[in-house]
Amino acid sequence: MNLERLRKRVRQYIDQQQYQSALFWADKVASLSHEEPQDIYWLAQCLYLTAQYHRAAHALRSRKLDKLYEACRYLAARCHYAAKEHQQALDILDMEEPINKRLFEKYLKDESGLKDSTTDWEMSQSSIKSSICLLRGKIYDALDNRTLATYSYKEALKLDVYCFEAFDLLTSHHMLTAQEEKELLESLPLNRQCTEEEQELLHFLFENKLKKYNKPSETLIPESVDGLQENLDVVVSLAERHYYNCDFKMCYKLTSVVMEKDPFHANCLPVHIGTLVELNKANELFYLSHKLVDLYPNNPVSWFAVGCYYLMVGHKNEHARRYL
């Protein structure tokens, strides 16, 4: 039996979001390989993707794979985090370093030593370490420990400078002062993890996100990343600067361009809604809020739009209080 073909089929179904098919074949491959660790890992991944969090964690922990492999430890903790069992997730992450990693480091220079198992699963050690720090930060956030959450997000970003989620959580949740944000950007080991062109790209994108309270100016795009001036995230960042400098007409002009191209752009919606309020565009906000509630009833920004509308019309302040 060619198990590699079946393993590729599992990945293929995951890529196509056919998670039940992926789970079916992952289960069979795990049996056919007599429960090789990599196959149990992918079985647990499929269980996670089908929201069977406790089954996924059990598949890993009952075989003690969370004590042997960093990737399994991360996935087991992520399962408990998804199930809102934050302390259990933290306990798993705070376990002693997996045995396999310690052995790997011990015999790193010995050609007959162990290979890094996580590389076989298409994940580097630094990537997994960064993911663990990111998850730890989210857990501390959920436990209202902002100090440790901030530290964890910063560590995640330093281990993997491409980890935008860690950067975004630090900045969008206002966890750092403006000076601390600048110091963080300068401290990132871009030269060790990026090519020269990617250094310019990352520095531009991150710096652009940090300037929302600065006075608007022409966006200077490095030659190596020409074309980003049309990127919607970059346009939204410029719109935010106009908003915070009270140039609501220019902000509206920019957000309208974004909304035309991407009507539900997550980063644009809050600033666009705020601009509609400032410019007293009640009808436009009415239609937008109804569309958002119809399509995204579980998204807070939908009800933010509804609350802003009632705040604008004035005579239904109790509704505004309810939704805001």
Q: Determine the pLDDT at residue 126.
A: 87
Match 């979001």 to its residue by tokens.
17
For residue 232, what is the domain's CATH number? 1.25.40.10
Q: The dihedral of CA 57, 58, 64, 65: what is its sign?
A: negative
Q: Determine the pLDDT at residue 210.
A: 85
Q: Determine the pLDDT at residue 114.
A: 40
Burial (CB count <10 Å: 0-12, 13-18, 19+), residue 145: middle
Is 269 within a domain? Answer: yes
User: What residue numbers bound the domain in which 302 lies?
Assistant: 227-323
Is 235 within a domain? Answer: yes
**Strand, coil or helix: 228:** helix
Is 311 within a domain? Answer: yes
Q: Determine the pLDDT at residue 109.
A: 43
pTM of the model: 0.86
**Number of domains into which the chain is organized:** 1
Residue among 151, 154, 162, 143 at smallest CA distance from 201 = 162
Is 215 within a domain? Answer: no
Q: Which residues of the chain have pLDDT under 70?
A: 96-122, 214-219, 315-324
Is 256 within a domain? Answer: yes
Q: Determine the pLDDT at residue 316.
A: 58
Enter the tokens of residue 297.
């009833």
Q: Determine the pLDDT at residue 111.
A: 42
Residue among 206, 252, 257, 204 at smallest CA distance from 230 = 257
Residue among 54, 136, 24, 31 at smallest CA distance from 89 = 136
Is 15 within a domain? Answer: no
Is 305 within a domain? Answer: yes
> What number of other Cβ atoms are within 10 A of residue 5's Cβ?
9
* Amino acid letter, 68: L
Burial (CB count <10 Å: 0-12, 13-18, 19+), residue 295: exposed
Is 8 within a domain? Answer: no
Q: Determine the pLDDT at residue 113.
A: 42
